[in-house]
Amino acid sequence: MVARPTAEALQRLRDTLPLWLEQKPLPSGWQDYCRYYHIDFSDRFGQADYRAGAVESGPYRLAVNLWQIPGASRNLVLLHGYSDHSGLFGHLIAYGLANNCNVLIFDLPGHGLSTGEPAAIDTFSEYAVALADVLQAIALPPLPTWTMAQSTGCSVLMEYARHYDWPFQATVLLAPLLRPAGWQQVRLARWLLKPFVHSIPRTFNRNSSDDAFLDFVRQDPLQPSRFPLKWIGALRDWLASLPLEDLGAGPALVLQGDQDGTIDWRYNTQQIGKLFPGSDIRYLQGAGHQLANESEPIRSQYLRAVGAFLEQQARSAP
């Protein structure tokens, strides 16, 4: 069993991760990091070529992971949610590799091993620029590319679609974020607190039925201990600027848990249908917000739907 990495050890990895184009060896301790977060697939997918490195995006250095399978049929780009990071997405990385996909995932600014104020952002456009810079820097093979995103990662895709050509042949949205639960109260609390505090203490909600995951994430040294109020302001500004109309990205498969207490999912799923017309919206009984890390029965259920959706999209491709 690999020991939990210290905050100091993780900071050293962040500081010494080489730029992607430098092709330098990974820093000492990187393999232990991968093993601790269960994203070391050298035994399960030994044929995969794994690379990691940093991509510069404005003021940020983004930590990027890429697994490439010989003879892959697709590329998969994964986007994590707010306060998450690549190390928590082992289930979905493994799903992609098991289904003959090259898998790309990176830590958003202020998350995981990427730089930036923890869990903060000035504008959501910085998230979209980060995705654009990673896609430009990483030369994915010329294969059909699809994307699967969790929560805030879905918001990143929406903002990206407004400003860039859409590169994905299929889109899967897990618990997509537009409005959080209790949005009006959240906005009022921010307005009242902003003159006095910069951030609020983090609380860990029960957002998955997987108890082992909930225990793990509470001990995760890459989890923020506080939530900056300016992130709420950035979300408010983004929602105010987002036209609820076709993004031109085609239909998506939208998967939403009916026990999700993190977002206003009844409102959000209605609006997602405007942004991605023709989407297939499915509700998962008993599922919480953290769909990427739900219990195995729930993940198996929705991943079967993902597989069917991908087959359908492949058949309808020109």
Residue 2 inside a domain? The answer is: no
Residue 214 inside a domain? The answer is: yes
At 214, which CATH number?
A: 3.40.50.1820
What burial letters (b/e) apply to 34-45, b meaning 16+ CB within 10 Å?
bebbbbbbeeeb
pLDDT at 83 over 90: yes
Per the structure block, which two tokens stand in for 117? Answer: 């104020």
* pLDDT tens digit sequence for 285-314: 999 999 999 999 999 999 999 999 998 888
Chain centroid to CA 277: 22
The pLDDT mean for the chain works out to 95
Q: How far is CA 239 from CA 147, 235, 277, 292, in A?
A: 22, 6, 19, 24
pLDDT value of position 189: 78
* pLDDT tens digit sequence for 136-166: 999 999 999 999 999 999 999 999 999 999 9
Residue 149 phi, psi dihedral angles, 5° rounding:
-130, 150
pLDDT bracket for residue 190 (50, 70, 90): confident
pLDDT value of position 216: 96
Closest CA to 294 of 205, 181, 214, 176: 214
Over residues 97-107, the mean pLDDT reads 97
pLDDT at 203 over 90: no
pLDDT at 318 over 70: no
Total number of domains constituting the chain? 1
Tell me the three-class secondary structure of 125-164, residue by residue: HHHHHHHHHHHHHCCCCCCCEEEEEECHHHHHHHHHHHHC
The helix-helix angle for 296-316 and 90-98 (nearest 10°) equals 40
Residue 284 inside a domain? The answer is: yes
Residue 1 inside a domain? The answer is: no
pLDDT at 86 over 70: yes
Name the 3-class secondary structure at 174: strand
Q: Which residue has the higher pLDDT, 238 or 226?
A: 238
pLDDT value of position 316: 79
Q: Which domain holds residue 219?
A: 7-316
